[in-house]
Every structure is written in C-alpha cells, then in structure tokens.
Chain A
Amino acid sequence: MPTKPDMRKAAPTADSPAAAPSGGPGGTLDSNRGETLVEVTGLKVHFPLRGGLFQRGAAAVKAVDGVSFTLRKGEVLGLVGESGSGKTTLGRTLLGLNRATGGSIRYRGRDLATLKESQLRPMRRRLQMIFQDPHASLNPTMDIATAVGHPLLVHRLVTDREERRRKVAETLERVGLSPAELFMDKYPSDLSGGQKQRAVMARAIIAGPELLVADEPISMLDMSVRAKILQLFLDLKNDLDLTYVYVTHDLASAKFFCDRIAIMYLGRIVEIGTTAEIFANPRHPYTKALLGAIPDPEKAGVPRNLPRGEVPDAVLPPLGCAFHPRCPVAVASCGWEARDLGALLERHWLVAGEDARVAESAMFGRPEELGVAGPRQILLTPAKQTTAAQVVDLLRRVREKTADDPFWRGVTECEVRGGKVYIAFAEASDPRLRVVAATANTEAPVSVACHLVE
C-alpha cells in the first residue's frame, strides 16, 4: 500500500466510476454537469441489538436501510431529517466511520463499504469529516498548531517540523484565523465557538481532501456566527474544488447552501432532488410537513397543519411507509396495522376525557393486542364483562368521531368472529423511491418515495 497514493484528477483506475450506469433507484441527475464522485447503492447500516432479557434474534436498529444516490464532483448534497432519520449515520458511513452492513459506496473505483480499516486510512486524506460540536472535536490538551498539523503527520505529507508549521500557518490563514501566529500556540479553550470551528476546518482541509462530510457544522453556533462559517465553507469549496455532504436538520441553511437535498426519514431517503425543486414543489408529505414547520419571520402567524407525534422507534419501524402513522394524507395501502389502532384510541381518549378512557379501555381484555406490529388480520379479545359486539360497537362510535383520521382508510373489515373482534387491514406496500416527472431531454430533478406520487 503506497503511503501517498496520488489520486489527483486524471487517472482513476481501470474500473472508473464514471463508467458505471447511473440506473440506481436514487440516480437523479438533473443535468450533465460534474463527474460522479461517489455512487451509493442500496446502502444499509444495521446495528444489531444485543443484551436484554429476551433473545432478540435478528432484531436490529436499521439506521440506514437501503439508500441510493449519486454524489457529483463539486456539488453540495444536503442530508436533511430529524433526529433518528439516519442522516448522521449515513454521513459517517460514507467515510467508513460506520460499517456498512449492505450495499456499496463506489469511490474512485473502489467500494468503501468493503474496505478494511487499514485500506481506508490512506483514503481518509481525501475524505474528511467536520463534526457538529467544535468544542468536542478538538483535543483540549493539544495546541492548535499540533491539532491542525496532525493529519500531515498521520499521512506523512511533510518531512520536517518547519515545513509542517509553515503549512499549518498557511491553512490557518486560509480559514480566517489570521494572523496565524496568534492562534498556533493557543489551546481550544482560548478560542470562541466560531474560531474552533475554523480550526476544525483547517484540520480537515490541510491534507488536501476532495470530499467533506459536515455534520451540523453550524448548529451549535450563534446566529450571527453561522453565516460566517457557512461563508467559509463556500469560499473553501471554490478555492479547493471540494465536494460537500451537508448533514443538517436546518432547512433554511440547507436551502441556501445545497445544490441538491435528500430528505431522510427513519433510515430512508423519502425525497431527493435539486434544492430549488424541493423547496418550490415539495412532493412527499413529510417534506411538506418539514417545510411548513420552519419558523420564519417572514410568514409569521400562518396557521399550519403539523403531523402528530414524533419519529418512531427504528427497532420496529411502522409497516409500509414509515411516515404513515403521522401522515395527514395517508391512504389504504400505506401500511396500517394493529398498533395504529392503539394509537388512534389514545388520541380519541385524549379528547373524550378520563371517564370515557377508563370505561372504554376496560372493554379490551388484552390491551397488548392493540400494540401489535405487522399482521394484516387481528383478533381482539373482549374483556370478561364485555361482548365482542360491544367492542365492535365502540369502534364504530370511535370511527364516527374520528372519521377524518387516515387510519380508517386502511381498515377493510371490523366484525365479530367467534367471540372476538376481527379486524382486517388493507394490504400494505412499501413505497419505493421513484423518479417523478421526467422530461424529454433531462432526467427528472426529483425522486420521491410515496404512494401518492406516481
């Protein structure tokens, strides 16, 4: 293994990534500009669950669950989602900081997902990460010159101390820590948040990277400093010909900063496309919800319909489309199941009041039956003093009160069967990421995973 693999532009190895067909489900080239830098196909990162009282068998947190996209040289791709969407894990996996459990990451003719750590190490010179918390990403006992110069040592890019200091000074100036002599011998605790993030940037670019994954790089900074750091990102991109993956939950900065955006929900990309198109015409209900939730001085007081609840548990994600329990426009095939009935009853009881809750919840003999995930048909056991007919009647009454709830679109049958309550749900299907509205000469700017978008 050469210690200084020269990967400068011209000569990618025999199996050039450019030759790969961009027929992946997420391939949404909007124009022909830029060669493909990274091609991610069907990427999965599952964290096995161990311990606990029960044999969990194959239970795993599917942090990233089948993600495909193309990253082109020189672009800024935003990975946007709430906590638990898998955006950070995806970003880390791109650099081999998390192990992929499936799929591939093609970069310069090699599959990063299968490389060993020793093989990845020399590549990290070209693949760098900026972490969220600048206070935590600098060693408090290392002065700035040493920290920033560290990659030069690791990758043996300089031979002597003088050259290293010179390079560090040059890089510090480049990120705005100027004059560099003022900062070289300082420790992280002497620096403000914005200055630390600049030092982190200096460390990331000093070895000459090609791709930077920035995980919420400005979210811990003050409002007035954010713009400065974002400007630095833009300047460095232009000066050094960088490609960025920008991981964030902040749609406003993503809108300004990114060329393309991938909206993630529970380990999947639900919508990916050009920033302009995503903001002008959000198609996935989740994207619409996210855009509608941004507090914005310019549209204050506009009433909005927020989806209920929060991101569900990734260990046992909802059936079908993971967003369906929160989706205001979900349809029959979105993946309705027993636990959605449990959630519906909880919502109903919040409105109906405590007395109704006590009386009505007592009619269910085995409340745990309302928390089951999966099967299309379920049988509910009535409580001792209750008949199945009474439970069906209760469900009918609840249905009348919650007629607008999308849940009922997924219920095909609800009747008494053998002393129990039989409920059948519509067949669920998992929406796949599909290219929408392709025009004749270019590929479509957006792909969406939703049954409502054909």
Chain B
Amino acid sequence: MTSADTEKGASRDAAPPSAPGPGPAGDLAAPVLSARDLRVWYGSERGPVTAVDGVSFDVRPGETLGLVGESGCGKSTLGRGVLGLLPPGTAVDGEVRFGGRNLVGMPPRELQRLRGPELGLIFQEPMTRLNPLMRVSEHFEEALRTHNRELTKAQVRDRALESLRGMGIPASRYESYPHEFSGGMRQRIMIALALVLRPAFVVADEPTTALDVLVEAQIIQILADLRRNFDTALVLITHNLGIVAEACDRVAVMYAGHIVEQGDAREVFANPQHPYTQELMRSTISLGTTGLHFIPGSPPDLANPPTGCRFHPRCPKAMRVCPQEPPPEVTLPSGSRTTCWLPVPDMTTAEGRRPLEAEEISLADEA
C-alpha cells in the first residue's frame, strides 16, 4: 500500500526524475529501483519499533548509493527491507518500485524468483555466508540452477569461471572449499556469486567490515569497476564515510530511521547541510584529524523516539521548533535534499527559530 505524502508534498513526490535530481553522470536514466515512503517496523518488548520510518530514494543504472549511519539507525534493515529479506514479525509499508512492479506486498514466491537474476545481496561476513561443506563450484551450481534448470554443468562452469575471473579468483580454485580461502578471497567469491546472474540491483551490506585495509581497498575497487562495467545499480551500506566518499555517486545519511540528508556524495561531503551529517563528519577520525570531536548523547530508542526532529536533543543548532514539529524535506540549489528546519526560515516563526535550551547530557550517556 502506498501512503500518499502529506505535509512533505512536492519535493518528495514520486515524479519522474525531471526534478533537479542529482545525477552525477549527467544521464537521467529511469531509476532501476525507487523507494517511496518506506516504513519497516517490528515488535519488541517495549512496543513497536519503527526501524525505517518514511524513507524515499532512487537508484539509477550504474549508480552507487551509499547508505551511512551509526549502528541502529536502520540502514541494514532498509537494505534488507528493499529486498524483502526481513525476518518474520516485521511489517513493511510503502512502495519499492522495481521494473514497474511494487516489491512491497509481492508474494514471497514471486520475490524469490527475482532474487538472483534481478536483485542481489552481498553480505557483511563472507565466512558465515558460504556453506563450509560445499565447494565453490557447488555454490555456483546451486545459484545458477535454481534460476535456470536447463543449464548443463559445463555451462554453469563457464559462467562461474567468468564471474570468478572478474573477481581475480583463479580457475584452479574452482573446486576448493570456502575454508581454503582467505577472508578477502571469500568476499570476492561472495560478490562473484551475487553477480553471476547479472542482477540489475544489488545491496552490499558492510561488504568490507571484517577485512583488512588493503583488502578493503581492493574490494572497493571491484565494486567501483562493477558499476562501470555492468551498469549495476548498487546500494552500499556502510558506517565508513571514507568508503562512501570513495565508492559512491550519491549518499544518503540515516539517523534514527530517517534519511536526514541525501545528495551527490562529493557535494554532501564538501557541503554537509544537516547538522547530523556535519557532526558525524567532524567526529570521524580521519587522516586529517587534529582534534577529537564528538556528538554528545546517544541515538534515540526507536520504540520511543524524540518528538519533532529526532536529532534535536543532540543537535548543536537545535531551535525551538525542532522538538515541536517534524522538519520538512528541503531540496537545496545544489540538488541535495535535507530534512531540517534550518534552511527554511520562511516556514518558521521568529519564536520557533530561537535556540533550544539543551538538556544537560552526561558524558557516559552514549552509544
């Protein structure tokens, strides 16, 4: 079911990409996948938790969208939700348009058929996602035969080897077991498996988290080549801002179930508009770090989120209006979109723009 946008109106409209949508490549190809007002929630002891709350984004062919945020912000849930891979007891609402169809509410069997040839997922931990009792070859046979029973063993082998070769895995390792590979090689195998059916849309969930620095850089390079060579639309979920800057065309910053800012990756990093993006970037330790900075407090409990803007209790620029009403989504001249009261003075009263007296946050009250 599609919930029509209410107060957030025009800028959030599911209109064709004629709006000043960010298109780094300059082409305005139709999105491969469009999410509109997607919500995901599940039950907990403390009541329903809305892990993803009204999120909209588009991914075009050959484009990589980085989804960043801290643990618990809903980025992984969003990635899985888009693919319909959420555990039982989870409810999804909104719309995920893919190939003219809405994936939300699609019968599981039909969705299953799309996963593989159309939709792919690259997991965080390659060691736990490959079956230790199956050779690499058997993984490929399973993946390919599930979607095309007619394939002969030789055809499977040809396609698998081609896919593996693209990832730098020599053919001599085709009959090896997962434990015979290093962590980086396993992740390459995972990627080769996800891509062997050439899906148009892939979600990569923290694909480099468990890997070493050099291997991480290798994998990022592979993902970057991917979008150039195969026009794959990729959603890259990560908490590492450096990876986003490096591998993504666009970025969506998530906080407490909302996308608070999205836009061209370079633009967002050069000119972060939302206070959370600014604070997150300042608190990240990078090579340029000369002093430590951090965001006071901790992300909110999603079973009982703050009123208005969810970031307001930690926001250094919070105004009186912030806890009162949810902020509007604003499209800025740069093409970035941000959900914040700051850039829209004409929508607030002078009283509403007075600074909010922050409550004292104890040092230990942290994530």
Contact = CB atoms under 8 A, between A and B. Distances in A.
Contacts of A255: 287, 289
Contact of A227 (B170, B214, B293, B364): B293
Contacts of A193: 367
Contacts of B364: 176-178, 183, 195, 198
Interface of B: 70-71, 158, 161-162, 165, 168, 170-172, 182-185, 212-218, 220-221, 239-247, 265-266, 269, 279-281, 283-290, 292-295, 298, 362-364, 366-367
A231 B292 contact: yes
Given A178-B362, A227-B294, A306-B221, A256 B289 contact: yes
Contacts of B295: 224
Given A193-B367, A228-B294, A290-B214, A223 B280 contact: yes
A195 B297 CA distance: 12
A112 B2 CA distance: 68
A386 B66 CA distance: 53
B226 to A, nearest CB: 16
Interface in A300-352: 300-301, 304, 306-307, 310-311, 346, 349-350
Interface of A: 82-83, 176-178, 183, 192-195, 198, 221-228, 230-231, 234, 249-253, 255-256, 279, 289-290, 292-298, 300-301, 304, 306-307, 310-311, 346, 349-350, 353-354, 357, 361
B213 A310 contact: no
Contact of A346 (B172, B217, B243, B288): B172
Contacts of B244: 297
Given A294-B287, A298-B287, A224 B367 contact: yes
Contacts of B220: 295
Q: Say whether chain A's binding surface is mostly helix, strand, loop, or mixed.
A: helix
A256 B168 CA distance: 35
Contacts of A353: 165
B161 A222 contact: no
B212 A83 contact: yes
The interface centre, meaning the residue of A178, A192, A304, A353 with most chain B CB atoms within 10 A of its CB, is A192
A298 B281 CA distance: 11
A298 B288 contact: yes
B170 A350 contact: yes
Given A194-B366, A224-B280, 17 more contacts: A82-B212, A183-B364, A222-B70, A224-B283, A227-B284, A227-B293, A230-B285, A250-B213, A251-B287, A293-B217, A295-B216, A295-B242, A295-B246, A300-B242, A304-B217, A310-B185, A311-B212
A223 B239 contact: yes
B212 A252 contact: no
Given A82-B213, A310-B215, A300 B245 contact: yes
A349 B173 CA distance: 13
Contacts of A178: 362-364
Contacts of B245: 295-298, 300
A225 B266 contact: no
Contacts of A290: 213-214
B182 A310 contact: yes
24 contacts: A82-B213, A176-B363, A192-B366, A193-B367, A198-B364, A223-B280, A223-B285, A225-B366, A226-B283, A227-B294, A228-B294, A231-B292, A249-B213, A250-B285, A255-B289, A256-B292, A289-B214, A293-B213, A295-B217, A295-B220, A296-B287, A297-B242, A300-B266, A354-B161
